[in-house]
Structure 1
């Protein structure tokens, strides 16, 4: 959970790196991000070079 898209990007990268360190794989095709906002905001988050699908809740 991140307060800004840059925080979410950093947390997503840390998750991916830690999973790799333990020999785990994160499936980017199954991973999604949720943006909860009162305005029309989106977050461009990638993991392992692939853009994650975004679910938006206003």
Structure 2
């Protein structure tokens, strides 16, 4: 959980790096980012450039 979009991107990057270290593949097609906010937000979160 991140308070800002940049925090969420950092956490997503860390998840990918840790998964990669354990040789776990992260499917970008199956992965979802969910936002719970009272304001409209439209930010792009990437995993490995996708």
- TM-score, normalising length: structure 1: 0.80
The answer to whether the 8 Å contact 1:35/1:42 transfers is no
User: By percentage of residues, which structure has more helix?
Assistant: 2
Q: 1:40 offset after TM fit, Å?
A: 1.0
Q: Helix, strand or coil for the counterpart of 1:27?
A: coil
Unmatched runs of 5 consecutive residues or more in structure 2: none
The answer to whether the 8 Å contact 1:9/1:45 transfers is yes
Q: Distance in 2 between matches of 1:2 and 1:39?
A: 15
Give the corresponding residue for 2:34: 34
Q: CA RMSD in A?
A: 0.7
Aligned length: 50
Which structure's relative contact order is higher, taking Cα pairs within 8 Å and 6+ residues apart? 2
Unmatched runs of 5 consecutive residues or more in structure 1: 51-58
